[in-house]
Amino acid sequence: MAVAGVALGVVVLAVLAVVVLGGSSATSPTRAVAASSTTGPTTTTSEPPTTTQPPAVTTTDPGLLDQTTTEPPDDATSLSSRLGPLWTAIQTGSLPTGMAVFFPESAYLRMKTGVLPNPPGDYRDRLVALYNMDLGTYQAALGSPATSARLLAITADPAIAHWVPPGACANTIGYWHLPNVRIAYSANGTESSFGVFSLISWRGVWYVVHLGPVPRTSGTGLLDLPAAGPGTPGPGGGC
């Protein structure tokens, strides 16, 4: 009787297992768990998924923030990235595009207030006006169409970057200065280059303050040190 009872119990358990599993033994919960365990912990739905928030976008005018003594990077990769809009502005002759990398007016006013009688007028009528004329001259140097010219490299000599202290060069605030950066390009199968006369820093970022050379006596656009081939960054000095 004991043996028969055990046998009967086994049969009953087997029948119940088939009923619970929907009458099929083709799928195995144990194998499913084993399979899922090989892919790491399971994800529950009791908590919302974690999402990465996009970085905050700031519209603060950098010129309204205090200057720092941080020297901007001057390797070729960093300069090419930073001055990409300048190359586009040269190709298109677009002043609005070029203003993306031009020294901020707000910062210039802070540097020149108390030094010049009319800093806003000097910024608008001298710096920006010359920049606009220079963009047209640089664009013409690329040939026609200028947009077919190909940027090869933007290079500088890190050894000539220098800190200009407050009070020097008629400025009330100090800054880093990087003169005569080279832009090498290919146009109609020929490699040529010209310079960017002066980059200065604000809060660890380079800005164009003079594209063509200064001072100048004519009210026309000028190229800075045009050359066949890639040219050589420099000379140093200046403000």
More confident residue, 235 or 32: 235
- Kindly state the helix (H) or strand (E) to which residue 175 belongs, with its residue range: strand 175-187
User: What pLDDT, on a 0 to 100 scale, did the predictor assign at position 55?
Assistant: 45
pLDDT confidence bin for 48, thresholds 50/70/90: very low
pLDDT computed for residue 58 by the predictor: 56
pLDDT tens digits for range 122-181: 999 999 999 999 999 999 999 999 999 999 999 999 999 999 999 999 999 999 999 999
Question: What is the mean pLDDT of the segment spanning 60-77?
Answer: 96
d(CA 114, CA 120): 12
Give the position of tokens 């890190």: 158
User: Would you call 192 exposed, middle or buried from its count of C-beta atoms within 10 A (0-12, 13-18, 19+)?
Assistant: buried
The percent of residues in the chain predicted with pLDDT above 70, rounded, is 76
Of the pLDDT bands very low, low, confident and very high (cuts 50, 70, 90), residue 232 is: very high
